[in-house]
Chains A and B, each alone.
Chain A
Amino acid sequence: MRDELLAVIEKNSRIDLKELAVILGVEEIDVVNEMAAMEAEGIICGYHTLINWEKTSIDKVSALIEVRVTPQRGEGFDNIADRIYKYPEVRSVYLMSGGYDLMVILEGKTLREVSSFVSDKLSTLDSVLSTATHFILKKYKDHGTVFGQKKEDEREMITP
């Protein structure tokens, strides 16, 4: 049940628990328990809302920053990642294989805010060797959802 439950709520975390139990073919109490267990185990880490900010009056600037760092003895990359993700404007931090080490996704109100974060805070960290900042121009698809597209049912009635 766990896999199917996760697949459903990953797409729709607001689904009614009764309904969730019905479509999974289990009792509501089992769903409640399973979700509580997964929250406790740190499998379910939050219930967020996917927002297309471009359609709101709120301005936001997102940037993807490639960061190269010197790993520390005994700590690897964890320590430096920790220092970076503590900043609230940092949305995501991933350790990457390939040409750079950490991918930092940043969200700020203005271009200036993002650039000052990079120049004042990120680049000045001891272990950071270099950064490359890419501004996100448009989000087409996020978390598996295509923005701005609503599909009509185009199926026609034919012999059943």
Chain B
Amino acid sequence: MRNPLADKVVELKPSGIRKFFDIVSEMKDAISLGVGEPDFDTPWHIRDEGIYSLEKGRTFYTSNSGLKELKIEICNYLKRRQGIQYDYNKEVLITVGGSEAIDIGLRAMINPGDEVLIPQPSYVSYEPCAILAGAKPVIINLKAENEFRLTAQELEDAITEKTKVLILPFPNNPTGAIMERKDLEAIAEVILKHDIFVISDEIYSELTYKDEHVSIASLPGMQERTILINGFSKAYAMTGWRLGYACGPHAIIEQMTKIHQFAIMCAPTTSQYAAVEALKNGDNDVAEMRTAYNQRRRFLMNAFRKMGLECFEPYGAFYVFPCIKEFGMTSDEFATRFLEEERVAAVPGTAFGDSGEGYLRISYAYSLDDLKVAIGRLEHFVTRLREEQGQNK
């Protein structure tokens, strides 16, 4: 029989931490700091709206680009929060999570051999999506000394004449890094100079703990070259509803809609009705969750300081990214021993790119009580490792 598989897919590296997760799920008493989704339930009034739409029999497809009412609410929201104006009819596409928007955004923009710049550490799907779209992914390794922000110099150094798209993943998973207005202004200059495009993944935009999130699309000259991606998963604790969106210039959104229409038809109808309610009446829920995350973030930062674990202060998402280089182990070794010896799962930084080596991603999408137990175990582990190191000297 002939090989039924496509080389391009077979050659894709599987996510490196699958085996790690398998151990976690086998281990009954393990506690996890590894999950990348909110621990809150979707606020009841949003769920209720979804249920109501089902009761009303709203179980049909929506239009390919999404429910008109939802697209209008998204435009209102972006105007209100970011000061960016989009035409709901031509510049918005409702997708199955932010993930779909990343995939089809790249597919709509990439010609074979085009280079896509991917700052890392970052979410695991950018690189495979770029490869599947036929691009050559070019990794920019972000540095701890810059608090894992993308600098204009790093961007400048990575650009060639083949560069077409920059993926901008801030607030960042896994580092929790943010890009503030001044950081964005610096890179926008480079982007304009080289005439490249931006896919800005702003799924964590509501979860910042310093100033409010600034979208690169709100800077002069940037809206016309930016695909802004956002969604409902993180802000409204709606991961399972699978709903995101892309906003951008009509020419790109139109082509993305074409792919979306052939591959997906439309995003889930129930989720779209629920999302309308989220945008209309969900601001308080977001604020409450943000406050809770911020309390946990402060708790973790304080705990790290006390145990002398190096960690820059992250101001976004719900992750902290402590440095474990002092223990002379790889991230993978550290995470594996931490799991085996203390029964706590945290994701090794290398799952998010080579530049995550020496770091650990700890999620604080867990209750303070859970975090306390886990941090107690981390402290125990760190103390023991330091003793071991002392003996070996």
Contacts and interface: CB of A to CB of B under 8 A. Distances in A.
Nearest to B369: A12
Nearest to A151: B41
A41 interface: no
Interface stretch (B164-172, B182-190, B198-206, B291-299): B291-299
Contacts, number: 44
Interface in A112-156: 153, 155-156
A157 B25 contact: yes
A45 interface: no
Interface residues of A, number: 15
Nearest to A155: B35
Interface in B10-37: 15, 17, 21, 24-25, 32, 34-37
Contacts of B15: 159-160
B39 interface: yes
Contacts of B351: 160
B291 A7 contact: yes
Contacts of B299: 19, 22-23
Nearest to B34: A157
A158 B299 CA distance: 26
Contact of B39 (A24, A153, A157, A159): A153
A156 B32 CA distance: 10
A59 interface: no
Interface in A32-76: none
A160 B125 CA distance: 9
B343 to A, nearest CB: 15
Contacts of A158: 36
Given A157-B34, A160-B347, A160-B352, A23 B298 contact: yes
Contacts of B174: 160
Contacts of A23: 295-296, 298-299, 368
A121 B17 CA distance: 70
Contact of A4 (B35, B124, B291): B291
B352 A157 contact: no
Contact of A160 (B25, B34, B368): B34
B39 A25 contact: no
Contacts of A8: 295
Nearest to B20: A157
A24 B32 CA distance: 24
B63 interface: no
A18 to B, nearest CB: 9
Interface string B31-65: 01011110100000000000000000000000000
Given A19-B299, A22-B299, A25-B298, A160 B173 contact: yes
B361 interface: yes
A111 B202 CA distance: 59
A153 B38 CA distance: 11
Given A155-B37, A160-B34, A24 B295 contact: yes
Given A22-B302, A159-B125, 8 more contacts: A4-B291, A22-B299, A23-B296, A157-B32, A160-B17, A160-B34, A160-B36, A160-B351
Interface of B: 15, 17, 21, 24-25, 32, 34-37, 39, 123-125, 173-174, 291, 294-296, 298-299, 302, 347, 351-352, 361, 368
24 contacts: A7-B291, A19-B299, A22-B298, A22-B299, A22-B302, A23-B295, A23-B296, A23-B298, A24-B295, A25-B294, A25-B298, A153-B32, A155-B35, A157-B21, A157-B32, A157-B34, A158-B36, A160-B15, A160-B36, A160-B173, A160-B174, A160-B347, A160-B351, A160-B352
